[in-house]
Amino acid sequence: MRRIVVILLLIIASFSASAQRPWTELSADEQSAVLTSRRTPSVVRRVMTSAVPLSEIDDDSREELLRRIVSRTKDEHLAALYVYLYDVLRSPDGSMARSDVRMLTLHPEAMMVLWSSQEDRRMLYNYAYSIGRCRALGEASSVKRALRKMTKKPLFEKYLDIVALFDRAQSIAYESVLAGERTFEDVTPTVKAEDVLLLSSAEEYMEERVSLKPVAAALDEPKNEAERNMRNECMAWSRAYHTFVEHPFGRNLTLVRSTRNDGEYLTFVDSGDDSYTVANEVYILDSGGFVVVERGQKPQSLVLGRIAQRGGVDIIGKVYIDMGREIIDLRCTLTALYLHLKGADGKGEEYVKLLLK
């Protein structure tokens, strides 16, 4: 009987030893033992016992501390302290992505424990943005090593939901950053086009029942909470959430939809490696031409362009809807763009059309 009790106690002790906890959940005695241990770097001990808050330590101490905590240790409690300190010191904008990858590689379980203890998963999504961004910007091999650490048994089995969520989240960030590399590069102002708006009528407008659809629909609502949070991370730190858009114009032309706080945009990256970013209301015509409706501009305007053979893009010019008028609605056919306008200062309504070549 005594032997069975001893075996059970050993099993319980073994399980407790393997159950890693975040630094804030360690007892005062456990924390004290770490801080007095000879294995703990002096800079870590000095900072943790100082009356100066971690957020206010001097730059030299911060750099020295970061160098020491981004290192390997077999002591689970010391690893928990390293992760705790790093989490306080890191910048959320992705600028410390390489260090984020290294911390995940060196202390995968301590990171899993930290993210598991946060109900809103706030830091998981922020790390996922940083690591997905790092992967998109040329650090794919190091990110792959870090992710491989997370999927090893028994860690993977123990934190299956956290690992799966993190992998989905970093993939969303990776695809967004990769898609957005060539967006908003074109800073050349579009010249005024020779085309002019012609007077139309309510009767002519209503007769035109055929209407083309924009080449890229507005971004759908997120499918789940992970996608919602990762869109927010991308918009916070990359200033936009980018997605590739499928299109029928051949492999030499790339279309990227960018969602920002001030609206949606569409970028053409053509076969000549030039990029053109316009408002995401683009109508493609059978002739190869396209019309961009810029509702967010003052004055509002229409950008005319053409998709050439083999994926070239030519911006022809801009037609302004001046005199303080604003677009209420439009109908785009194969031959003309019909506009229903609100008059200057919101007074009256007008109908005009733009003949498409």
pLDDT tens digits, 18-40: 467 899 999 999 999 999 999 99
For residue 6, the number of C-alpha atoms closer than 13 Å in the C-beta half-sphere is: 3
Task: Say which residue the tokens 């056919």 belong to.
Answer: 333
- Domain shared by 236 and 290, yes or no: yes
- Domain shared by 41 and 166, yes or no: yes
- Domain shared by 56 and 160, yes or no: yes
Q: What is the pTM of this model?
A: 0.86
Q: How far apart are CA 304 and CA 194, in angstroms?
A: 10
Provide the pLDDT for residue 2: 47
Task: Say which residue the tokens 């059309």 belong to.
Answer: 353
242-262: average pLDDT: 92
- Domain shared by 163 and 250, yes or no: no
In a domain, 316, yes or no: yes
Provide the pLDDT for residue 264: 96
In a domain, 5, yes or no: no
- Secondary structure (3-state) at 76: helix
Angle at 46 between CA 87 and CA 103, to 5 degrees: 30
| Spacing of C-alpha 113 from chain mean position | 24
What are the tokens at 353? 């059309």
The number of beta carbons lying within 10 Å of the beta carbon of residue 198 is 10
In a domain, 7, yes or no: no
Residue that terminates a domain, selected from 154, 180, 206: 180
Residue 13: its H or E element: helix 2-18
For residue 318, the number of C-alpha atoms closer than 13 Å in the C-beta half-sphere is: 18
Question: Of 19-23, 242-246, 290-294, which range is least confident?
Answer: 19-23
Region of residue 209 (left: phi > 0; alpha: psi -120 to 50; beta: else): alpha
| Contact predicate 104/159, CB 8 Å | no
Rounded mean pLDDT of the chain? 89
Q: How far apart are CA 200 and CA 263, in angstroms?
A: 30
- Domain shared by 106 and 205, yes or no: no
Q: How far apart are CA 30 and CA 22, in angstroms?
A: 12
The yes-or-no verdict on residue 173 having pLDDT over 60 is yes
Tell me whether the omega of the peptide bond preceding residue 22 falls within 30 degrees of 0, making it cis: no
Letter for the amino acid at 306? R
Provide the domain limits for residue 115.
Answer: 16-180
Closest CA to 267 of 306, 313, 221: 313
- Domain shared by 230 and 266, yes or no: yes
Q: What's the structural domain count of the chain? A: 2
Angle at 22 between CA 20 and CA 23, to 5 degrees: 120
Residue that terminates a domain, selected from 152, 180, 208: 180
- Domain shared by 134 and 221, yes or no: no
Region of residue 288 (left: phi > 0; alpha: psi -120 to 50; beta: else): left
213-238: average pLDDT: 95
In a domain, 280, yes or no: yes
- Domain shared by 111 and 204, yes or no: no
In a domain, 163, yes or no: yes
- Domain shared by 126 and 241, yes or no: no
